Copies of this chain bind each other. A is one copy, B any other.
């Protein structure tokens, strides 16, 4: 295994910028997720690492070696494709052996390593099947084995879970992470699913429209988002446009004045407040609010609130059966409260879509 370094990597198609600039160090054995909505450039970045897309600028270094101009077959990366990309005319064993064959590994050694790789992904005994005879989850594991068997310096995963159903996805997520940690694989992982990225990655790179918005671990991104886009993309978040009225007091566009963290705020700032940090009480201190809707979701309950013209979402653990909050209905008056430090002022980059609480 080795390290992966991206230096000022960019890709333009004519006037269209697919990737503006990515700088990234992936440590030996680290799993880094590229996370963002579709069209953010994450897949293009991965494909530049694999060599399928030539960069317009910047460098790719794998294990310290500059491979920016190397062909895909000379890069020593192991990629797992979203569609799995198994060879339909080869058996599972032949699929897994393909990379070893290309490396001119001898027959006996090849068979040993194929068997070992299939055991690793728990597909012993299926070597003679054709890919179409396997379930989606099994095909996915064949694709993993095929990429792993050649011991690539860098492991690349392109939305490997998006074709699995929800139940299987949680399971495979766990498996891939365990495998990656056990084998110490240097991994770059592309996904649009924040839960997937949070669960699996050591560090996350949040991308949007070709730009890197923030790099950090799950906690850093969730607790200290760099801007409104990151706050809205990682977890749910109330994002309110407005302006600072006085230190610690934010006047939201809707009309309400809300307590917030002290600090300077630019003109186009946004107040970011996590819905689960907003407490809802039937009485007591806090801001008065009116309930627009209550949605029971089992473990949690969503409260859609109106604070004098400003809409706010609160998510609380569903109150116990005997709690008066259990009986709350649309139209009821409640008081809401949050620690001012939880209400952060964040810059909204031009073009960011700042919405009402989802």
A276 within 8 A of B: yes
User: Nearest chain B CB to A319's CB is how many angstroms away?
Assistant: 12
Of the candidates B199, B295, B298, B315, the one whose C-beta lies within 8 Å of that of A299 is: B315
In the bound complex, what is the Cα–Cα distance between A234 and B298 (angstroms)?
A: 8
Max chain B C-beta neighbours (<10 A), residue from A195, A222, A299, A300: A299
Residues of B within 8 A of A286 (CB): none
A219 within 8 A of B: yes
Residues of B within 8 A of A219 (CB): 296
Closest residue on chain B to residue A221 by CB atoms: B298
Residues of B within 8 A of A298 (CB): 198, 218, 222, 234-235, 274
User: Nearest chain B CB to A189's CB is how many angstroms away?
Assistant: 16
Within 8 A of B (CB), among A300-358: 300, 315, 317, 321, 355, 358
Identical copies in the complex: 2
Residues of B within 8 A of A321 (CB): 223
Q: Which DSSP category, helix, strand, loop or mixed, fits chain A's interface?
A: mixed
Known: A198-B297, A222-B298; 9 extra A-B contacts, CB below 8 A, are A198-B298, A199-B297, A234-B298, A235-B298, A235-B299, A274-B298, A276-B300, A276-B317, A317-B317
Closest residue on chain B to residue A275 by CB atoms: B299
A89 within 8 A of B: no
Within 8 A of B (CB), among A212-263: 218-219, 222-223, 234-236
Residues of B within 8 A of A234 (CB): 298
Give me the 9 closest cross-chain CB pairs, A-B, nearest first.
Answer: A235-B298, A222-B298, A276-B299, A218-B296, A170-B358, A199-B295, A198-B297, A235-B299, A219-B296
In the bound complex, what is the Cα–Cα distance between A276 and B315 (angstroms)?
A: 14
A167 within 8 A of B: yes
In the bound complex, what is the Cα–Cα distance between A234 and B297 (angstroms)?
A: 9
